[in-house]
Amino acid sequence: MKDCVTDERVGEAAERDHSSFTESPTAFPEERSASLPAKGLSVSALAIATAACGGGDSGGGSAPPTGSSSGGTVTPPPPTVLKPATDEAAARFALRAAFSAPIGSISNLKDRGYEPWLDGQMSASNDQTAEQFFQSRGFDDITTDQFFFNRRIGDYMIWSQLMSRGSEVRKRAALALSEFFVVSLNSVSITWRSQAIGEYWDILNRRAFGNFRDLLEDITLNPAMGVFLNTRGNRKANPSTGRVPDENYGREVMQLFSIGLFELNVDGTQRTDGSGNPIPTYSNDDVTGISKAFTGYDFDFDGIGYTPNPRNPNNQIPDVEYVRRPMTADPAKWQRPRTQSEHSAEEKAFLGTVIPAGTGAAETLRLTLDAIFQHPNVGPFFGKQMIQRLVTSNPSLQYVQRVAQTFNDNGSGVRGDLRAVFTAILMDEEALDPAGLTNPMFGKLREPMVRYAQWGRTFDVSSVNGNWDIGDTSSNSTALGQAPLRSPSVFNFFRPGYIPAGSQAAANNLLAPEFQLVNETSVAGYVNFMEGVIGGTGRFGRDVKASYSGELPIAHQSDALLDRLDLVLAGGQLTQNTRDVIKAALDDITVTETSDDATKLRRIHIGVMLVMASNDYMVQK
């Protein structure tokens, strides 16, 4: 990516100088981080985009440097470190890799370069897990007036995670993984349901930059997944009653969590038979065979105690720990212990693998997950969807192939190295090519929950009561139309192959997954929701407040304020026409350096609202 790092002329027409906003980078910078005017402002003029975007072909990379020789010995040159040439290029990279682009991160990125910055962020652990959040707020306790064992406080936890603390890059990857390995709080009917989904989130964070095979095993045995897709309590066949193993998880682990419906080439295209038809990856017999492998598991209640329900002493509440343990196939550890296993002892045949009859549960699970993990579809199937979540809806075949090859081999002979995969996605020449700014096939619609998390981190939000009492944001008429960890089904909020009918995207055969969330109701709902939270009003603005401390000192300078918002929110993507409309709205309010904070905040709120409602912001390039 020579043009991205060495040619200062690249992108001059689209990128502006924000050198006036320089601050000292920190080791782990978090940007510091309310209502619209009654007149002179039309939000509809900057409504959400109605045509989808995607990803184009890659640009060329720079040639490797040559070494020098002395006395016949070749001295290899130091490795070239790719660095963003502008603040805007750095901001766009940060907004793909994380949720926000604080000024400190922009400076740090430019100084260190893309990969060193990314490597440092990936190495950072989260400073508070979901489990620690629940414990710190007393949500693991059973008291007379608090019934957190049966309340849906998972929303508090996940918004706390997305909007504050810890490694943004790790959490951004974990959120993308949550849309691939889907578990939904909506359907986890279990005592301590929020703590169960919290453990699932902690798994995604722990394994985000580990190995795919380990992640696959952890989610398979997770109690929330066990409830969501019926692995928990799945019993072996009983010929006398006609009972057969539940096929739900066996089907979905193949269809959605690993290999997909049809055989793929390494570039993600479908393989075809001699008649040009796609080749199914599995049959009903494969589903029947693999479903036997996931029998005999239930919650691990070994050593779990009980507390009487304060409002109904006849009802005993188990300790929370059981929802955080992997499920077990040892019937002696179940809530109602048994001596006989419920794991199927039958032969299990699927995906060309045969597990002999009599093989135990642990060995069966190992062989089953190994067979899935080694399937050639996993790299392109998983890799393309992670590209779609982070970079572009329509990656080129070459982009998908490069990522899939990294999944297959990280360069050291290791398969499934997620750290290498996410690095390959974010560092690919197609992702870094500045030509993507003007390529109508490149980019993606920002998901509503990602926009909201970005607002929170960009403007340093905090929770007044410490609970992050935001709640369920699923309503498309009064909220975001999307809530993290609350997918309406196992198929996520949208399908990776979705194309909006009758759209410009459809006319150009472009995928636009996130547009499955977009309709007239959701457009208005998002604008109304963001107007309230930006100004700190309404149901969703009561507890979570933004400081806008970085914007207050320049609020009297509308040009400087707009430049800053364009940079940290949109990565410098606002067109001149959009900037002109927003600036006119900002200038409609008289603000001087000596104006009170309320007046300055009014201008800031307008600027943030209009940027985040504009087409230029909505489509991430």
- Quick one: DSSP state of residue 347? -
Q: Which of 530, 592, 562 is nearest to 21 (CA)?
A: 562
CA 121 from centroid of its chain's CA atoms: 16
Q: What are 209's two structure tokens?
A: 């930059």
Which phi and psi (to 5°) does residue 143 adopt?
-125, 175
Q: What are 257's two structure tokens?
A: 């969590």
SS3 category, 413: coil
pLDDT of residue 77: 78
pLDDT of residue 437: 96
pLDDT along the chain (621 residues), means of 10: 36 34 32 33 38 38 43 73 97 98 96 98 94 95 73 92 94 98 95 96 98 98 98 97 97 98 98 97 98 98 94 89 98 97 98 98 98 98 98 98 98 98 98 96 98 98 96 96 98 98 94 98 97 93 95 98 98 98 98 98 98 98 96
Interatomic CA distance for residues 449 and 556, integer angstroms: 31
Interatomic CA distance for residues 329 and 515, integer angstroms: 42
Q: To which H or E segment does residue 381 belong?
A: helix 378-390
* The residue to which tokens 């410098």 are assigned: 572
Whether 130 contacts 157, CB under 8 Å: yes
Whether 512 contacts 445, CB under 8 Å: yes
* The residue to which tokens 């040439």 are assigned: 85
**Single pTM value for the model:** 0.88
Interatomic CA distance for residues 595 and 217, integer angstroms: 58
pLDDT of residue 28: 28
Q: Alpha carbon of 447 to those of 63, 128, 267, 577, 610: distances in Å?
A: 36, 25, 25, 24, 17
Within 8 A by CB and 6+ apart from 300, the residues are 322, 325, 326, 327, 328, 330, 333, 334
Which phi and psi (to 5°) does residue 609 adopt?
-60, -45
pLDDT of residue 310: 84
pLDDT of residue 7: 34
Q: What are 475's two structure tokens?
A: 């309503």
Count of alpha carbons within 13 angstroms of residue 336, beta-carbon side: 2
Q: To which H or E segment does residue 140 belong?
A: none
pLDDT of residue 72: 60
pLDDT of residue 27: 33
